[in-house]
Every structure is written in structure tokens, then in C-alpha cells.
Amino acid sequence: MSTKNKLKWCLEKETRMKKIKPNNKLSEEHIIKAKHNLKAMNYNIEGGFEDWAVSQAYYAMYHSLLAILFKKGYESKNHECTINTVEHLIEQKEIQIDKKDKTIIRTTEQMTNKDAKALREEFQYGTKTTVNKEIIELLTQNAKKIVEKIELALNY
């Protein structure tokens, strides 16, 4: 299914996503929240809670995607709709970030066969507390890179 058709599906129910007036204030607040999650991620890594750092890395990236949506006039309550809509905006050249950067959230094949979202679900809902050092390093590097690139693209 194309990103355009997925966007249409997302907009069919307001419980997934809805069109709103662009909101720069909420957009900027989501960048602030993304940076807050990066700090919490680092704090938990230093404290030996890498399993929680996985969730915070994912949410840092996710909040930066929400910042894009609010800037462009969308409000999303669905992770897949958020990711797909950003992908659609990149394809339409409405946001100047590399599609590869967005895909880090959906697929982190260079780290594992699971994407950042799946890793977040595994460590947030599962019982494992130990994260492979290579995975946590790559995930945290990517989270920092994504938040920074999106902040620059949105001119904050």
C-alpha cells in the first residue's frame, strides 16, 4: 500500500489521526520532549537500565516525528500512522529529511532483525533487562541523530 493510501486510511478515523491547524507551539514542545527522552536515555544507560533506555531512544525519535506532524497540521494517536505520514511528507518533499533517517525507527537492520519500535515493545513489555551493547550503542546514536536532524529541519 502506498504512503498516500496509508495516510487516507489513518485519516478515516480520528482515533488514529486527524487533520488540524498547523501548531508550531506543540511542534516545538515535542522537540523539547524528544530531548528530554534523550537525557533520560543517557541517565538510564549510566545507571545500568539499558532496557528502559531502549524505550526512551524510541520515544525520543517518535516525539521528533510528532513535531513534524504538528508543524504540518496533523495530530496522530497511532504509531504506524505517525511513521507512515512522515514517510509520505518526505516523499512529497514537504519535509527535508532523508527517508533513510526515518527508516531507522521502522527498521534497524544494521543492528538486528527488529526495528526500533519492536525493540521498544520487547524491552518495555518483556522480562529481559540486558541489552546487547552494540544494539544499545547504535540505537542511542541513531536517536540522537534523528532528533538533531529533525530539529534542524524544523528550524528550532
Q: Are strands 74-76 and 17-19 parallel, antiparallel or unpaired?
A: antiparallel
Query: What is the rounded end-to-end Cα distance, in angstroms, of the chain?
Result: 33
**HSE (side-chain half, CA atoms, 13 Å) at 53:** 26
| Domains of the chain, start order | 23-153 (1.20.120.330)
pLDDT digits (tens, 9 = 90+) for 50-103: 999 999 999 999 999 999 999 999 999 999 899 899 989 998 999 888 766 656
Mean pLDDT check: name the lowest of 12-21, 46-55, 112-121. Answer: 112-121
Using the predicted structure, report yes or no on whether residue 20 has a pLDDT greater than 80. yes
Residue 34, pLDDT above cutoff 90: yes
pLDDT at position 132 is 82
CB 22, CB 72: distance < 8 Å: yes
How far apart (Å, rounded) are the C-alpha atoms in residues 50 and 129?
7
Q: pLDDT of 109-119, one tens digit each?
A: 344 456 777 78
Please determine, for residue 39, whether its predicted confidence score (pLDDT) is greater than 90: yes
Q: At what angle do helices 50-72 and 24-46 cross, to 10 degrees?
A: 170
| In the block, residue with C-alpha cell 514537504 | 94
